[in-house]
Amino acid sequence: MLIIIFIFDWSAFWINLIAGSFYFLAGILVSIWLIPKYTLRLINKKNIKYSITKISAVIQELCDFITESPYRNDLLNAEQITITTRLKDIKNYKVVSLCIINVFNKIVFPKIHLVIYGYYQERNPNDAYKLVAEEYERLKQLRLEIERIITTHSLHIEDEIILKISNLCFVIKSLEDKFEDNILYDELINATNSERTGVFGLAQLPEVYINLLLLLKELISLKYFDIEITKNNDSI
164-214 pLDDT per residue, tens: 899 999 999 888 888 777 777 666 676 676 676 667 777 889 999 999 999
Closest CA to 169 of 212, 105, 136: 212
Is 98 within a domain?
A: yes
Is 139 within a domain?
A: yes
Model confidence pLDDT, tens digit, residues 172-182: 988 888 877 77
**∠135-100-142 over CA atoms, to 5°?**
35
Task: Say whether pTM exceeds 0.85.
Answer: no
Closest CA to 226 of 116, 93, 83, 107: 83
Give the domain extent around 119: 36-231
Is 5 within a domain?
A: no
Model confidence pLDDT, tens digit, residues 66-80: 999 999 999 999 999
Q: What integer best gives the mean pLDDT of the chain?
A: 81
- What is the average pLDDT across 214-235? 90
Is 27 within a domain?
A: no
Is 50 within a domain?
A: yes
- Give the per-residue pLDDT at 232: 83
Q: Count how many domains the chain has.
A: 1
Is 30 within a domain?
A: no
Is 127 within a domain?
A: yes
Between residues 117 and 232, the one the model is more confident about: 117
Is 120 within a domain?
A: yes
